[in-house]
């Protein structure tokens, strides 16, 4: 295919520098707290990184810094081995070879699909790539339609075509599926990795949906309040959450202190905590399927609410002021307001989360230049 860009060094057995490097990056707007604090990560050629976190955590700001729409307060950004932002160098956005896909598509309403697709090309540039991408994304035959004549999914595909036509080295996607209905969103997110691979593009995608990030991304980075909590492959993120926030936000898991955990342990399970006296400040991870639930009129817990998920129930249970979330089979049908008994599965194994290790690694804010 003549339109591919780049080649992973892994294919040739070479060890290359990361495609994207962000080192000790700090940022804040005038008269505000730090929006990003000591962000440090790298991304290999051809990978898709998901930036995951709640609204206002700094995800979009990080994209804007990489694109060149904002200047960092301190730190370095390098793309394909070239510094684009540092104390000694600044490269304008149009010179970074970075494409951007916005949440609201940002299509020109007075231009046809073909004109939108070719908007970033010079007048004498080859239009073959635009035609190839329109066909790749299922828009062949719709070239003369205007954006208002396209469905939401077609408009998002067209926006992706326009972002990829100029052959960017790096593609930044800011919640690209958030305005789409469920069926279209699922189909487009399944297509995205294939399209990026066909084009040989490295990408970062902002999302606040853990399921979306883990479904298609090679690496997932979790941010909260401008702090970088963890960056890992999805499987590792699920198996070994680094902080309490990652466990709660990504896994929707329960994170308990030792004294709360002891209330759930059976007499036969207390030995599991032996030797953990040095972890008094640590938290214990209780996944939603680690808990067992049964109806009990004399039980100490009661059902606050439940959600029907198709194949199972998701319960919210209160036990002496402690709220816990758990999933059980549909046969375990306990109406809200009912009293119940709660316990840990017999095969549960302890998993510690020590936030102190992460907190001690946090850097102090940079000292302003004189």
What local confidence, expressed as pLDDT, does residue 167 receive?
Answer: 92
What single-letter DSSP state applies at residue 311? S
> Exposed (0-12), middle (13-18) or buried (19+): which is 83, by Cβ within 10 Å?
middle
Task: Report the length, in residues, of the chain.
Answer: 370
Phi and psi, residue 39, nearest 5°: -75, 130
Euclidean distance between CA atoms 335 and 192, whole angstroms = 41
Q: How far apart are CA 130 and CA 174, in angstroms?
A: 22
Query: What strands lie across the sheet with 254-256, from one edge to the other?
Result: 254-256, 283-286, 352-353
Rg (CA), the chain: 24
Contact between 38 and 73 under an 8 Å Cβ cutoff? The reply is no
Three-point CA angle 181, 185, 191, nearest 5°: 155
pLDDT score of 271: 67
Q: What's the rounded Cα separation, in Å, for the pair 38 and 1?
A: 40
**Those residues with Cβ within 8 angstroms of residue 204's Cβ, 6 or more apart along the chain or in another chain:** 20, 43, 48, 49, 50, 51, 63, 66, 170, 171, 172, 173
> In 3D, which of 296, 281, 270, 249 has the Cα closest to residue 348?
270
Cα dihedral: 293, 329, 338, 262 (round 10): 20
Report residue 201 as tokens: 């593009």
Over its length of 370 residues, how does the chain's per-residue pLDDT go in tens digits? 334 433 444 444 444 579 999 999 999 988 778 999 999 999 999 999 999 999 999 999 999 999 999 999 999 999 999 999 998 999 999 999 999 998 888 899 999 999 999 998 888 888 999 999 999 999 999 999 999 999 999 999 999 999 999 999 999 999 988 888 888 889 889 999 999 999 999 999 999 999 999 999 999 999 999 999 999 999 999 999 999 999 999 999 999 988 888 888 775 676 676 655 555 567 899 999 999 999 999 999 999 999 999 999 999 999 989 999 999 999 999 999 999 999 999 888 889 998 877 776 666 666 655 4
Alpha helices in the chain (DSSP H): 59-67, 113-117, 128-136, 152-164, 182-199, 210-216, 234-239, 244-251, 258-262, 355-361
- What pLDDT, on a 0 to 100 scale, did the predictor assign at position 90? 93
Q: Judging by beta carbons within 10 Å of its beta carbon (0-12, 13-18, 19+), is residue 143 exposed, middle or buried?
A: middle
In 3-state terms, what secondary structure has residue 144? coil
* DSSP helix/strand/coil, 198: helix
Q: Whole-angstrom Cα distance, residue 60 to residue 173? A: 9
End-to-end CA distance of the chain: 53
Q: What is the DSSP letter of 358?
A: H
Predicted pLDDT at 361: 63
Q: Which residues contact 142 (CB under 8 A, 6 or more apart)?
A: 113, 134, 150, 154
* C-beta atoms surrounding 368 within 10 Å: 7
Distance CA 91, CA 157 (A): 29
Q: CA-CA distance, 183 to 368, in Å (whole number)? A: 49
């Amino acid at each position: 295919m003549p339109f591919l860009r780049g080649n992973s060094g892994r294919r040739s057995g070479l060890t290359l520098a990361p495609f994207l490097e962000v080192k000790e990056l700090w940022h804040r707007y005038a008269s505000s707290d730090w929006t990003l604090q000591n962000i440090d990560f790298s991304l290999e050629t051809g990978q898709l990184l998901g930036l995951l976190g709640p609204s206002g955590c700094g995800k979009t700001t990080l994209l804007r810094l990489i694109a060149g729409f904002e200047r960092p307060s301190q730190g370095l950004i390098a793309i394909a081995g070239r510094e684009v932002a540092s104390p000694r160098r600044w490269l304008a956005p149009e010179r970074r070879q970075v494409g951007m896909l916005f949440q609201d598509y940002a299509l020109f309403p007075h231009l046809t699909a073909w004109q939108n697709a070719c908007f970033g090309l010079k007048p004498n540039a080859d239009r073959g790539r635009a035609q190839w991408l329109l066909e790749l994304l299922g828009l062949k035959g719709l070239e003369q339609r205007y954006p208002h004549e396209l469905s939401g999914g077609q408009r998002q595909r067209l926006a992706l075509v326009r972002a990829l036509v100029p052959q960017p080295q790096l593609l930044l996607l800011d919640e690209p599926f958030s305005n789409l209905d469920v069926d279209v969103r699922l189909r487009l997110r399944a297509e995205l990795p294939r399209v990026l691979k066909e084009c040989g593009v490295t990408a970062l995608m902002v999302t606040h949906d853990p399921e979306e990030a883990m479904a298609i991304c090679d690496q997932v980075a979790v941010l909260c309040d401008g702090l970088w909590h963890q960056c890992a492959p999805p499987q590792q993120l699920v198996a070994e959450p680094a902080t309490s926030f990652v466990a709660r936000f990504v896994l929707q898991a329960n994170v308990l202190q030792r004294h709360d955990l002891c209330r759930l342990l059976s007499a036969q399970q207390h030995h599991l905590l032996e030797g953990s006296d040095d972890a008094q400040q640590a938290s214990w991870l209780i996944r939603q399927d680690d808990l067992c639930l049964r109806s009990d009129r004399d039980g100490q817990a009661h059902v606050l609410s439940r959600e029907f998920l198709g194949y199972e129930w998701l319960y919210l249970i209160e036990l002496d002021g402690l709220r816990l979330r758990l999933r059980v089979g549909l046969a375990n049908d306990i109406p809200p307001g009912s009293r119940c008994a709660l316990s840990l599965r017999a095969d549960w194994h302890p998993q510690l989360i020590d936030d102190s290790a992460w907190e001690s690694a946090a850097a102090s804010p940079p000292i302003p230049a004189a």
